[in-house]
Structure 1
């Protein structure tokens, strides 16, 4: 069996984090929850649910993901696959088997769980999210002939491929940076439709005007930066 590790960035997800961990399939070797400056019971609930818990005081999705990667880099036995998953229970963790299947059986480098309309619960994605996904993926199609339709956070990637991307974004641009670098390095990729439900609690990004604006600016910044490098 491959060595699979899951990284879950989490900021104040005390009400949902144990549910996420519980639904992750047993084939995963280690679940790593990175508490991104949480001030609730996220850390204790994650630990009680069986996860490895790290803390990252710098706020930012990318900061949390990089913290998890740094932790893994110091382990003797390296994983084959890294899965990224949100801690708000909007994704269906049990669908991890669908996400990793193209890597295991078709040697695909990178897989995104696409939140397609037919599988989304009503209200699970806000209008700014839907528009932002459409705009970002349309621009990637225009500039890079990409076939992405979503910037979904539920994703899997070969560990060595992830290292070669040399990820650097610390905040909202993490997901789109990964997809742009996958395109630049001509890695193989595919989207797998996944179910998506209303999250537990309020989104720290799409749930606020400030978060939505900053996320949009960061995402577009990455896209135009790479389009100029062509």
Structure 2
């Protein structure tokens, strides 16, 4: 269950675009900024206040915070949707998308994090490609222009691993698949079928967008790590959870790749070991029992994996045709 509350006070300064962004139709667009939060009381007030300068409405989807996040967001004029318990970022983003579909005339939903890492002043830059119909999803990337950012080295390494895994599940070659700063067209909001409740939602969005033939673009943004409260969850645990989820995406969306490649490796290694065992028996008359057992096990496992890859790939294709 989720409850919705709003403050009747409207921001004194209405959303605007930079002068160089063009047409009157773009300038009159209706923008909703959505912020998924969990225990973000330190930064949420300033993030909402700044975001109000660029939005017709700022909506905070609070995912069961136990601090003062809800009260602060409501006091500065945000519409607040509360989850009774913590479910995960994916659940909060689905709530924001559902809210947007219930509001008439929204031209774009912009989602950014509530910890102060993203700069609301970049909202016009991120939303512009969606409003001008250049793409359905615009991702604010920290690395699209350069790989040199303030991102700590260990985080950047983990992000690159997740980028490659996401590319494996979606086929999209993006520079910053884990960025939470994104703008969505109404079509993207209505067509994305997000299922995960957890932190893998960014990767799932990209895979879903590819399946739905939605266009994705990246625009450069700035981020800040200094004086930011930081992630609610341990970055290492967060990375492992996302990697596990994306691996499942690859398994479900590309079973021929996921099971077929290991099958070929197992068949190659097992077959080679079996031939070598037979060669040793012929030349030395010595039968290496363990070599034969290991090679047989590898070949059998490879055959089962290859059979699974073919069957699951066929099932996946049948389901895709049904959808």
Q: TM-score range by the shorter chain?
A: 0.7 to 0.9
How far apart, in 2, do the equivalents of 1:13 and 1:143 lie? 31
Q: CA deviation at 1:162?
A: 1.9
- In the other structure, the counterpart of 2:68 is 41
Answering whether residue 176 of structure 2 is matched by residue 154 of structure 1, we say: no
Q: Distance in 2 between matches of 1:111 and 1:70?
A: 19
Aligned to 1:120: 149
TM-score (norm 1): 0.88
1:193 matches 2:223: no
Q: Structure 1: any 5+ residue segments left out of the alignment?
A: none
When the two chains are superposed, the root-mean-square deviation of aligned CA atoms in Å is 2.2
Quick check: 1:204–1:211 contact (8 Å CA) kept in 2? no
Partner of 1:43, secondary structure, is: helix
Gaps of 5+ in 2: 1-27, 256-315, 318-323
Q: Within 5 Å, give how 1:194-209 maps onto structure 2.
A: 194-198=221-225, 200-205=228-233, 207-209=234-236
Matches within 5 A, 1:89-108: 89-108=116-135
Q: Which has the larger radius of gyration?
A: 2
| Residue 70 of structure 1, CA deviation | 2.6
Matching of residue 13 in structure 1 with residue 40 in structure 2: yes
Pick closer, same or farther for the CA change 1:106–1:23 going to 2, 3 Å: same
Indicate if the aligned counterparts of 2:35 and 2:61 stay in contact, CA closer than 8 A. yes
Aligned length: 225
Q: For residue 252 of structure 2, what is the aligned residue in structure 1? A: 225
What is the alpha-carbon distance in structure 1 between the residues aligned to residue 102 and residue 173 of structure 2?
34
The structure whose RCO (Cα within 8 Å, separation 6+) is larger is 1
Looking at secondary structure, tell me which structure has more helix per residue.
2
Contact 2:60 2:81 in 1 (8 A): yes
Range 185-194 or range 214-223, more displaced: 214-223
Q: 1:149 to 1:186 in 2, by over 3 A?
A: same
The CA distance in 1 between the partners of 2:184 and 2:67, in whole Å, is 30
Separation in structure 1 between the aligned mates of residue 245 and residue 46 of structure 2, nearest angstrom: 30
Give 3-state SS (helix, strand or coil) of 2:125's partner.
Answer: helix
> Which among 111, 117, 120 is matched to residue 84 of structure 1?
111
